[in-house]
Amino acid sequence: MSLTVHGIPVIDIDSHYTEPPDLWTSRAPAKYKDAVPHIVINDEGQQRWQVLDDIDFGPPGFTVVRDDGKKEYGTISLDSFEQMSKAATDPKERLKMLDNLGVAQQIVYPNVAGFGSQNFVRIEDTELRNVCCTVYNDAIAEFQADGGGRLYPQGLVPFWDIPAAVEELQRIKDLGMTGITMCDTPEAFGLPHLGDPAWDPFWDACQDMEMPVNFHIGAGAGVADKLVWPGYGPQRRLALTSISLFITNFKVIMNLIFSGLCERYPNINFVSVESGIGWVPFLLEAMDYQFEETVPTEREGLTMKPSEYFRRQIFASFWFEDFGPRAAIAEIGEDNVMFETDFPHPTCLYPRAQEHITEVLTDLDEGIREKVLRTTAERIYHLPPPPAEIYESAAAGG
């Protein structure tokens, strides 16, 4: 399959890495080899991630693409690594999958740690938490190297310790990674909210390093139990939980702006990941309206309209939507929208990524298509062009 749409190389800014069973145990210091995340078999015969002897970290990966290339519907994850597509875990197999999917480059997020490393807060031993975080970053630096200029995983920071987070941020930069994924609700874990001055050293470092900060849905305190009524079966609950997670990024965006954080750090790019775009025009309109109607004088640190901050430094992505790409890009800003597949998660745009892109973007101006599919992602994540030889390989069928 071609790795371009309308001649544009496709960059997928949201996919996930199903961490292999030995990611932590093969790299952890000897004293922590039995404590770091490892795979156990539960009473139902399912593989589960576990920390120490008793902390359940969930299924092997939120992966529904099977080893036979087909997609399993109605579940949050297959029960074992043996059932899963090897492309979920192995970088070489991932590259083959990208060729089949028609994607030139891919931004990659974690699973086990939580999308903002918030699962590690469940570990009481702070040193063990930090080890889990740094080992992951070491592993994905190797994953990126094996990706041949096509795979760009985002680093995890130990947000529970702000000085340690700044230190790890520098290490992430030195490892050659292109961004980080951040917890959106540190206040839920006894820390200051992200607009508090206590975070200034962290934001200073992000700005100085030109490090984009990704807020992936589900990267903080859970919302499903508050938004989803009890009594649903697992499939309906999965559907409603997936929908409810979009609302968490509604909260993140409005707080980034109204807290004055965007005003103080105008050169940090924030990305709302896996949250869709159809609702963003309403949020922009609502923020501007409320700013004018209800904030006539309390405007310290806010010199622009909320929508202007958004268009300057906040970005969003779409995958399954039809309405959003067709109708909302102009309202959001053509420079603020990117494309994703969410591979290999339950709602992933697999195996019809290119077909969907063609269906929803064909009527757009060529320059807008190029921004959505390639140039905005290149700019935000400082990506080099994809290797030229991949196009020859894809054209040859391997």
Backbone angles phi, psi at 113, to 5 degrees: -70, -10
Query: What radius of gyration do the chain's Cα atoms show?
Result: 20
Question: Does any domain span residue 48?
Answer: no
Residue 392 has pLDDT above 80, yes or no: no
Tell me 72's DSSP state: -
> Does residue 70 lie within any of the structural domains?
no
Predicted pLDDT of residue 393:
60
The pLDDT of residue 398 is above 70: no
> Residue 222: its pLDDT value, please?
74
> Could you tell me where the DSSP H helices lie in the chain?
91-101, 126-146, 162-174, 200-209, 224-227, 234-258, 261-264, 280-294, 306-313, 323, 329-332, 353-361, 366-370, 376-381, 389-395
**Average model confidence (pLDDT) for the chain?**
95
Query: Using CA atoms, how far apart are residues 329 and 372, in angstroms rounded to an integer?
Result: 9
pLDDT at residue number 346: 96
Q: What is the pLDDT of residue 280?
A: 98
Phi, psi of 147 (to 5 degrees): -80, -5
Whose CA is closest to 163, among 201, 137, 129, 196? 201
Structure token digits, residue 331: 């309202």
Which pLDDT tens digit goes with each residue over 301-318? 999 999 999 999 999 999
pLDDT at 275: 96
Q: What is the mean pLDDT of residues 279-299?
A: 98
pLDDT of residue 47: 97
Q: Is residue 261 part of a domain?
A: yes
Query: What CATH number has the domain bearing residue 25?
Result: 3.20.20.140
> How far is Cα 372 from Cα 20, in angstroms, rounded to an integer?
32
Q: Tokens representing 189?
A: 């874990």
The answer as to whether 93 is a domain residue is yes
pLDDT tens profile 191-240: 999 999 999 999 999 999 999 999 999 999 877 678 899 999 999 999 99
**CA distances for 385 relative to 9, 149, 158, 375, 397, angstroms:** 9, 8, 31, 10, 21
Token pair, residue 121, equals 């807060």
User: Tokens 């702000």 sit at which residue?
Assistant: 162
% of the chain residues with pLDDT over 70: 98
Instruction: Show the domain range for 100.
Output: 4-34+83-395
Given a cut of 90, is residue 1 above it in pLDDT?
Answer: no
Residues 6+ apart with CB under 8 A from 53: none
d(CA 395, CA 376): 25
Q: What is residue 10's predicted lDDT score, i.e. its pLDDT?
A: 97
Domain assignment present for 53: no
Residue 247: predicted pLDDT: 87
How does residue 265 score in pLDDT terms, banded at 50, 70 and 90? very high
pLDDT bucket at 395, cuts 50 / 70 / 90? low
Write the single-letter amino acid at 201.
Answer: P
Percent of residues, the chain, with pLDDT higher than 90: 92
Q: What is the pLDDT of residues 140-185, one digit of tens each?
A: 999 999 999 999 999 999 999 999 999 999 999 999 999 999 999 9
- Contact between 311 and 268 (Cβ < 8 Å): no
Residue 52 counted as domain residue: no
End-to-end CA distance of the chain: 9
Q: How many domains does one find in the chain?
A: 1
pLDDT range class, residue 394, cuts 50, 70, 90: low
Q: Is 362 exposed, middle or buried (0-12, 13-18, 19+ CB in 10 A)?
A: exposed
Task: Specify the pLDDT at position 258.
Answer: 98
Confidence grade of residue 112 (pLDDT, cut at 50, 70, 90): very high
Region of poorest pLDDT, from 37-41, 118-122, 360-364: 360-364
> Please, which pLDDT band fits residue 74 given cuts at 50, 70 and 90?
very high
The answer to whether 97 and 3 have CB atoms below 8 angstroms apart is no
* pLDDT tier for residue 299 given thresholds of 50, 70 and 90: very high
**Residue 358 belongs to some domain of the structure:** yes
Strands 105-109 and 151-153: parallel
pLDDT of res. 396: 60
Determine the pLDDT at residue 65.
98
pLDDT 10s digits, 321-355: 999 999 999 999 999 999 999 999 999 999 999 99
For residue 259, with 0-12 CB atoms within 10 Å meaning exposed, 13-18 middle and 19 or more buried, which class applies? Answer: middle
Residue 64 lies in a domain: no
